[in-house]
Structure 1
């Protein structure tokens, strides 16, 4: 498919606590404006077209799929140029840079929180304060994500050693995050059709017609739009004009799944219709480090069923043609 760190000995609970909270980085942003904010929009278009055959003794099926996804994610930077890349390709170095970024943000938040940084029970004070704020969110997913991001940085400031030397490089990287209320757009369409025969009984020798249809179009609910925006973190290298994107989240289309098996037909509405896993892996590998705008195309094998049910036995063969376009505006 296409595409020296200072550390200190820490207790096991310490490392796992920080690791568990690093997911809040995308919700963290920067609440200390050190320069004029910079807004950009990441636009992505993905089309998927493929076919798949399945054989398991007397059982068989043939499938086709056509999928398209167009979405735009507004992202915001505080405008500051940093000397290190939080999406550095080396995994260990990336984790160290992220942790130091959280620690620096946390120092500011710790000062503003009213918590005593010299308290002998600082960790417990932070945990208690976080639990109260999460409770006050009353189940709101955006509020809870932002709260986790806030306290990830505060916890890093309280527990992590000073690793600020990591940021002493040439200021060239601008960090971009999703933000609450960003005007995200989604257009997703999915059409997968499967026909064949399946067997019933211990020997699977009683054969019945089988059909599966997964079809739908959607533009995303308010929660889908907000969640998609907040899930994105990007870095732009102003020196080499490179874009780094972490964990590309392709929004699933929603629609109806109709299954006919053993003489009975069932319908399920408003279901998420899956994107093939191999396609998601390829998209992530392509945009992990890329020019600010571009396109890519590949053909990928389909060894797993298109409905995502990995428990089905037998042999799956097929191929999907995936085409990707992106633009950083």
Structure 2
């Protein structure tokens, strides 16, 4: 190899040594298991329905990240408030720098009304300054720039519950510790939902009280489209430092199964392939647990079931609904 070739080879080796390698794509798997057991009673006068609730959910989806960590966690529940607080801190630093330079700094507003009044006055002052330019474009642009800088100095009034900024501007930059994960086309997943909800009671008729029984059951594993939609709708942030996840919950399809109903007057009604209703309040609680959680964990609670409209039977004024749902869940997030 000639001298020029040696120099090129050495330069290439040096570049490889100092140039950061591209981040490797990272796959991960989120698994959620939920079980629900409970009861509820609907009643209106002598009419009633006693129901037993039994539901289990096995949900698994795979997500993908570019592998490049970010300094920002946009799924943190306090993200917006932190951004506002940090912006206010940046603005305060600019105000202090302007004051040290001997330039005028508008007084900080303490209320929204005061802040809006400052904006209005500044806009009127700029209009007068531009009118005094008598059509001189350069003069008008200078006026707009001057008043634009002054507008940037108007301090937004602090909210009573505003959090402190996430970092001090004088400290080292924030760590790149957050991996953003998203669903992707064709990712593997699993859905298995088992429902066994039953009711029995009586409804009023001109001939007297009519007993009835009802069963809503399912053993549903989801279609290919269900699995694909669950995956594509999934997204979360993983904190490499604390090993916590931030999610919007995990979706699942309405299961399909069997509906059975019998009463003394009409006999049996059966539908072997129909949508089966699940206990909706459970999933609000599940989503809340997964909003910010350890990468793996478990939780349980008892949720009250209450209302003044029917749960089973016709919705009528004066009906009441009471009961409870005992919920247990486990989850795990694994880097692959």
Distance 1:94 1:255 in 2: 46
1:182 aligns with 2:184: no
**Structure 1 pair 92–43 and aligned structure 2 pair: CA distance change class (3 A):** same
- Counterpart secondary structure, 2:306: coil
Alignment check: 8 A CA contact 1:36 1:78 kept: yes
CA distance in structure 2 between the aligned counterparts of 1:242 and 1:83, rounded to whole angstroms:
15
Aligned pair partner of 1:269 in 269, 272, 286: 272
Cα pair distance change 1:45/1:211, threshold 3 Å: same
Q: Within 5 Å, give how 1:316-327 maps onto structure 2.
A: 316-327=321-332
Give secondary structure in 1 for the equivalent of 2:231.
helix
Report the CA distance shift for 1:225/1:214 in structure 2 as closer, same or farther (over 3 A): same
Superposition RMSD in Å: 2.9
Note the C-alpha offset of 1:95. Answer: 10
Correspondence for 2:226 among 224, 227, 232: 224
Asked if the contact 1:274/1:308 (under 8 Å) is kept, the reply is no
Q: How does 1:1-329 map to 2 (within 5 A)?
A: 35-90=23-78, 92=80, 169-200=174-205, 206-261=208-263, 263-264=265-266, 265-303=268-306, 311=315, 313=317, 314-329=319-334
Distance 1:83 1:258 in 2: 54
- After superposition, give the CA deviation of every residue in 1:199-258 in whole Å (9 maximum; x if it has no partner): 246xxx842122221011011111111111111111101122111111432444321112
Q: Which has more radius of gyration?
A: 2
CA contact (8 A) 1:274 1:307 kept: no
Across the two proteins, how many residue pairs are aligned to each other? Answer: 225
**Larger deviation, residues 189-198 vs 205-214:** 205-214
Over 3 Å counting, the alpha-carbon distance change for 1:76 and 1:208 in structure 2 is same
Structure 1: where are the runs of 5+ without partners? 1-32, 97-165
Q: What TM-score, normalized to structure 1?
A: 0.62
The gaps in structure 2 that reach 5 residues or longer are 1-20, 85-165, 167-172
Shift of 1:275: 2.4
